[in-house]
Structure formats: C-alpha cells, structure tokens
C-alpha cells in the first residue's frame, strides 16, 4: 500500500474552514489520549454484524482502513473479525497511544479529507466516532478513491441514549456548566443523517441502522469517559475537574455499589461501492 503525505487542511461541511472552536475540539484529544483509551466505550458485536449484513460480505480477510482510529478501539474489533487493518490518525498524541496498544498494526498520519493512501487499495473504509470531524464533500470522494469496486464506507457513532432520564439530566448539567453542547454536531439521528453527506452531490445511496446497547462500569470509569470528551478538554482542567467532582458525588449518592449503566444508541451508516457497472459506482460523488 502506497502512502501519500497527509493533509493539514480541515474544512467545515459545505466549504470554508472549521470554526476555531471545532478545530480546537478536534485537536483536544491528543493531550488526553491515555484517559481516552481507559474510559471510552467500545462497540457491541452487533455493529460489525450489521456492517457485514449491509455490505453483503464478511470482513474476514478484507483490507480495512480505519480513519480517525484514535487509540484503536474500532481497529481492535476489525482485527478480531479477521480484517487486515491499516489505521489513519491525524493526532500525534492519539497515534502514540495507538502504537502502544496495537504495535503490530500499520498506522499512517493523515485525515479523511485527504487520505494518505493509494487509489483502489481498500475493501472497507471505516469511521468510528470520527466522521463528524471531516468535511463530507471532501471525505466521501476520498473514500471512493481508495475503495475497490465492491467495497464499502461504514460510519458509526456511540450516542448517549437521551431517553434515559439520568443520562438526559447529566447532559443538561454539562450544558449548564460549560455553556456548550457536549458534542459539536446534531445529537438526534435524523440530524446526524442529514449532515453525514452535507455538501456531497449526488448523495450516495446508503443504508442505516440504530442499535442500542449498554455497559456497566465503575463511576470513575464513567467520569473518565465523559471527561475525555472535547467539550471538557477545551475548558481547562480546573473547570472540568469541578464539574466531575460534583458529578461523582451526585452519582455515588444514588449508587451505593459505585456502578453506572451507560446506555448508548449506535447510529450506523453504510455506503456500498458496486462494481464498474453498478449504480453506486456510476453515481460517484464529485469534489466540489
């Protein structure tokens, strides 16, 4: 596989540059890579089951490119399925942590707006919890460029299940404390679907699924998880520490066993690239 130099550009959907707050949030994870690896949730097996079902083939033996790989959470799952994985990660701190956790996995520095990979080299391109940091009008054609005919682009996110009362209440407290939403993107799935292909013309045919799952973790693991989110990381350690201390006391008061059940809805979007005469291939998204 031939690598190309990574792009340093970062643009917002529809053109222009990302607002500085979003650029700051995108880069904030590098200083918290160890905390990210320790606290962030993985994904249930049903996510990759659904990817394979919507793609129409097994990931075993496939060459998968995991973009915005972070500390390797999705990369590890793909490897467990038998995929051969190449990771792409823009952040220096996250890349260091990735290499500590998965030293045998090839990793190249770069981002989804200009993938540092040769054309027609991959069977599967994945973005786990990272597509919202790209400009879809650039990232979709890049995925199409590196995918072989018959390949697929798979995007997914863990989203807090805001119909669970304690989770919704905590999200409201975050907004009140920091004056900002925990995520710089729509938190509803219709909004996420609308923006997934913002600026892309024509919008590629795609399928989507929503999968609910939960994990039970110690309160401190939960706090490490939410504390690794960008809205905490850009606020400064003292302000984040104050919120997390108050939240710890609040959660433990209601949970004598010290455990929290985090509930997530995973939104999954899969786009298939058919063979040379297939519809998706014929309707290839163009660069703006």
Domain range for 140 is 20-160+187-213+265-282
Q: Are 146 and 122 in contact (CB under 8 A)?
A: yes
Shortest CA distance to 64 belongs to which of 4, 127, 125?
125
Q: Count other Cβ atoms within 10 Å, centred on residue 56.
A: 11
Residue 249 lies in a domain: no
CA distance 252 to 146: 48
pLDDT at position 133: 84
Q: Report pLDDT for 248.
A: 96
CB atoms within 10 A of CB 194: 12
Q: Does residue 224 lie in a domain region?
A: no
Using the structure block, give the residue that is written with the tokens 């880069």: 27
pLDDT tens for each residue of 170-216 = 999 988 888 765 554 555 567 777 889 999 999 999 999 999 999 99
238 with 177: CB under 8 angstroms? no
Number of domains in the chain: 1
pLDDT of residue 178: 80
191 inside domain:
yes
Q: Which residues of the chain have pLDDT under 70?
A: 1-37, 180-189, 231-236, 275-288
Query: Among 282, 254, 11, which Cα is nearest to 133's?
Result: 11
Looking at residue 286, the DSSP 8-state letter turns out to be P
pLDDT recorded at residue 28:
53
Q: Looking at the domain assignment, is residue 247 inside a domain?
A: no
139 and 88 Cβ atoms separated by less than 8 Å: no
Q: Which helix (H) or strand (E) holds 92?
A: helix 92-101
Q: Confirm whether 69 is domain-assigned.
A: yes
The reported pLDDT for the residue numbered 57 is 97
Distance CA 192, CA 197 (A): 9
Residue 248 belongs to a domain: no
pLDDT at 238: 79
| pLDDT of the residue at 40 | 85
Q: Is the peptide bond before 248 cis (omega within 30 degrees of 0)?
A: no
What's the token pair of residue 70? 């972070």
| pLDDT score recorded for residue 24 | 55
Is residue 233 a part of any domain in this protein? no
Question: In the numeric block, which tokens belong to residue 136?
Answer: 């879809």
Tell the residue number behind the tokens 């786009």, with chain if given.
271
110: domain CATH number? Answer: 3.40.50.150
C-alpha torsion angle, residues 70, 72, 75, 77 (rounded to 10): -130
Q: What is the pLDDT of residue 235?
A: 65
CB hemisphere CA count around 201 (13 angstroms): 4
**Is 130 domain-assigned?**
yes
């Amino acid at each position: 596989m031939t690598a190309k130099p990574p792009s340093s550009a970062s643009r917002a959907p529809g053109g222009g540059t990302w607002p500085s707050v979003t650029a700051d949030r995108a880069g904030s994870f590098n200083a918290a890579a160890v905390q990210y690896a320790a606290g962030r949730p993985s994904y249930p097996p049903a996510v990759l089951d659904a990817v394979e079902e919507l793609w129409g083939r097994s990931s075993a033996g496939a060459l998968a490119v995991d973009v915005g790989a972070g500390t390797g959470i999705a990369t590890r799952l793909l490897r467990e399925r038998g995929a051969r994985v190449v990771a792409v990660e823009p952040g220096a701190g996250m890349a260091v942590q990735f290499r500590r956790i998965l030293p045998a996995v090839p990793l190249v520095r770069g981002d989804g707006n200009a993938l540092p990979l040769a054309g027609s080299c991959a069977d599967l391109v994945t973005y786990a919890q990272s597509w919202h940091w790209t400009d879809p009008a650039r990232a979709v054609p890049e995925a199409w460029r590196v995918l072989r005919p018959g390949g697929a682009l798979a995007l997914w996110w863990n989203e807090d299940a805001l119909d669970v009362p304690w989770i919704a209440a905590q999200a409201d407290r975050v907004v009140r404390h920091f004056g900002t939403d925990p995520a710089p993107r729509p938190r509803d799935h219709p909004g996420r679907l609308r923006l997934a292909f913002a600026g892309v013309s024509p919008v590629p045919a795609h399928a989507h699924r929503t999968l609910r799952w939960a994990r039970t973790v110690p309160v401190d693991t939960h706090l490490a998880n939410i504390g690794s989110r960008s809205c905490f990381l850009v606020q400064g350690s003292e302000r984040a520490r104050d919120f997390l201390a108050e939240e710890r006391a609040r959660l433990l008061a209601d949970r004598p066993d010290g455990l929290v059940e985090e509930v997530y809805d995973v939104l999954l979007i899969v786009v298939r690239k058919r063979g040379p005469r297939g519809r998706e291939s014929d309707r290839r998204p163009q660069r703006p």
